[in-house]
Structures are given as C-alpha cells and as structure tokens.
Amino acid sequence: MPSDIATPRRPTRAVRVGTTQIGAGAPVAVQSMCATKTRDIDATVAQTTQLKHAGAGVVRIAVDNDKEVEALKEIRRQTDAVLAVDLQENYRLAAKVGPYVDKIRYNPGHLHHVERGKPIRDKVAWLAGVARDTDCAIRIGVNCGSVAPEFLERYPGDQLEALVQSALYHCALMEEMDFERVVVSLKDSDPEKVVAANRRFAQARPDVPLHLGVTEAGMPPEGIIKTRLAFEKLLAEGIGDTIRVSLTLPNDRKHEEVEVGHRIIADVEQGRFISIPDFGQGLNIIACPSCSRVENESFVELAAQVRELTRYAQQHRVTIAVMGCRVNGPGETDDADLGLWCGPSTVNLKRKGVKIGAFNYQVVLPRLRQELDRIIAERAATGAQSATDAA
C-alpha cells in the first residue's frame, strides 16, 4: 500500500531495511509493533501477519532476554515480514537478535544502564559493528521521557534541545564508525514537541531519514488526533520518511495503527488536514500502545476505564499518563499531573513525579479519582489556570 507524498520531500540518504527502503524519495513506510508476548510465538507470528497484511513495511518486536531471542528465531523462520527489534536497557542483546532481524532500534537514553564504566562511544562502536556484521539498519530512537542524563545536564531546562542534541551526537558517532544505515526518531507524547524536535533535527541533518512517532498517543479517537496534529505538519513540510502511529488498542485491532498511518499519508497527499482549534485545551490522557513488555493483560481495559472515570473533568487542563510496564512507566509518567503504570498485580500511582503507592486493580481507580479531585480543588483554591479559565 505505498503512498507518494505530493509535497517536496527532503533529499535524505537511502536506508535499506530488509526489502523496505526508507528515505531518498521512497514511499513513506508505515510501521507498527507487536503487542503480543514475544515468547508466544504463534500469537506474535499471527500479529506480524495481521500488521503486514494491513500494509506495515516494518514490524517491530520487543526482545528483552534470551528466551525471547529463542522465540524470535522461530518467529523469523515463520514470517517473511521485515522485522525490527526494540532494545531497551540491555543493548548487548543486539548481537543475539541481529542475525534474525532487519533493523535494530536502540535508545541513547538507555545505554548508561549497563556496563556503566564503559564510554558511550565504545558502546555505539560495538552496535555499529553488530549491525554491519548482521546486515541490519539501526534506528537511533530518542524519547523525551528518557533523554540521556549527560545531555539533560548540558542543556538544563531545555529538554527538547537535549533530545535533539543527543540524536545528533549519536548520528555523528555512527558516522565516525563509518556506519550510515541510520534512521532517527525523536518522540514525545506532545505533538507540538514532536513537530519542534523533528524540525530542528531535519534542519541540522537533512540527509538523515526520520521515523516519526507521537508516543503514548492513547486511545482512538484522541490518539489519532494527536498523531495527525504532528504528522500532518511534518509530512506536509517533507519531513518524515517512515511513520508509526502508536494507539492503545486491544490485540485484535492492532492493525488499525497501520490503517490510520496510511490514511494520514493519503490525506496529506490530497491536502486534507484536520482542524480542531480547542483540542488539547482540557484533560489529556496519554497511554502507551502496549507491547510484549506489558505487565498485565488488563492494561488496555485500565486505560479505557481511566478515560471513562475522568470524563467529568474534561474541561480541566490535567494530564494523566497510563503506562503498561515498569520499563518505561516510571520515566514516561514524570511530566504528567497523575501517572499510572502497571506491575503484574498492582498499579503504581504517582502525582507530579512523586509516587503515592501501588494499588490493586480494584482500588486504583477510586484512588485516582480522589487525587484528580484534589488537584482540581487545589487549583480552584489558588486560582490556577484550568482549561475553563483559559478559554
């Protein structure tokens, strides 16, 4: 289901990812990610097929340990989809997964978690070597929720610049290692930040293909609107060579991410843009799209329950983040007014970066409401701005 963007595209270099080309005028490739347990081979192969049939040019899978590497080998055997792997904290898994995938994504903000004494440059050199030896492309995937600490220190108070500079630095390191099969992503849950970060990066490095994404966009329709707000602007400016729409959906509807991605591309081509002037002025729920790491099957249901429970507060400018696991949950909820992330049997709740506690699934919703009421009451008492006040 290729699409050609009618607007002028940036003349990036071409990056081959298996049989999919990213950049250099190739159709914008739509990607997605499996939300099944990677160790459940049948379910993951089925979802890979579901996504590929919907038009996914690249399908990403999370691999965190040796058992999942074993599962990946079998998944690779059973599918001809173009596969990418998402490395989180343990970048050393790259050597084990490289032979079975076409692209490896690493997050510069997670490299310091293992082999703490080893210079970042050496880690990147090793990753470039693995990618070269296993015929993989690399995505340098930076994220506002997990910017490398040294860049946050270098750009105090300017998280966006820290994010962009971190991506530029890693690009330069890759080139120092003579490795150019690199795609970059700069993601956040705020569409405006995604637009700003990608524009800054594209200006500095117009030659490097960009993978666009709004993280934790949440459930449709809000998740689609947030994603469109960013993608429409960037694609219309010729920025973006591959896209991923991250939506919180049950597993049997995961292919909708790919369909939405193709629809956005087609709409931009034909000059159809959305206009929702008041969007983003009230309650904002961000929710991860879930993946193999999700710690409880009830996560998608929990995200839907949070939305239902908080409808009464629509007009208040409060951000609630709902995340599926302990890997990204704590960091990605830091900027929210209220954050929840799943553990196996409890849900962690925090307010403005401070953890309140871990509650079982039955208790966490009333507790969330209590905290939300408290925020609204405090703001009313201090005259702090809510969406209603601002309108």
Instruction: Quote the least distance from Cβ 206 to ligand SF4, whole Å.
Output: 30
Instruction: Quote the least distance from Cβ 366 to ligand SF4, whole Å.
Output: 24
Separation CA 212–CA 235 (nearest Å): 9
Q: How many CA atoms lie within 13 A of 374 on its CB side?
A: 10
Instruction: Quote the least distance from Cβ 292 to ligand SF4, whole Å.
Output: 7
Instruction: Quote the least distance from Cβ 328 to ligand SF4, whole Å.
Output: 4
Q: Does 104 bind ligand SF4 (CB under 6 A)?
A: no
Name which position in 289, 296, 333, 368 contacts ligand SF4 (CB under 6 A).
Answer: 289
Closest CB to ligand SF4 among 215 and 242? 215
**CA-closest candidate to residue 316, choices 381, 368, 366, 391:** 391
Q: Does 324 bind ligand SF4 (CB under 6 A)?
A: yes
- Contact stretch for ligand SF4 (CB under 6 A) within 15-23, 40-48, 254-262, 283-291: 283-291
Per-residue x/- track, 174-213, ligand SF4 (CB under 6 A): ----------------------------------------
Separation CA 326–CA 343 (nearest Å): 7
Six-digit token string for 282? 């009230």
Q: Does 300 bind ligand SF4 (CB under 6 A)?
A: no
Instruction: Quote the least distance from Cβ 224 to ligand SF4, whole Å.
Output: 17
Q: Does 26 bind ligand SF4 (CB under 6 A)?
A: no
Residues 326-355 that bind ligand SF4 (CB under 6 A): 327-329
Six-digit token string for 98? 């490289």
**DSSP assignment of 180-192, as one string?**
--EEEEEEBSSHH
User: Do the Cβ atoms of 261 and 245 come closer than 8 Å?
Assistant: yes
Q: Does 293 bind ligand SF4 (CB under 6 A)?
A: yes
**In degrees, to the nearest 5, what angle opens at C-alpha 101 toward C-alphas 96 and 107?**
75
Strand boundaries in the chain, DSSP class E: 15-17, 20-22, 29-33, 58-62, 83-86, 103-106, 137-143, 182-187, 210-214, 242-245, 284-287, 319-323, 338-342, 346-351, 354-360
Name which position in 81, 239, 294, 387 contacts ligand SF4 (CB under 6 A).
Answer: 294
Separation CA 103–CA 83 (nearest Å): 7
Residues lying near ligand SF4 in the complex (CB under 6 A): 288-291, 293-294, 323-325, 327-329
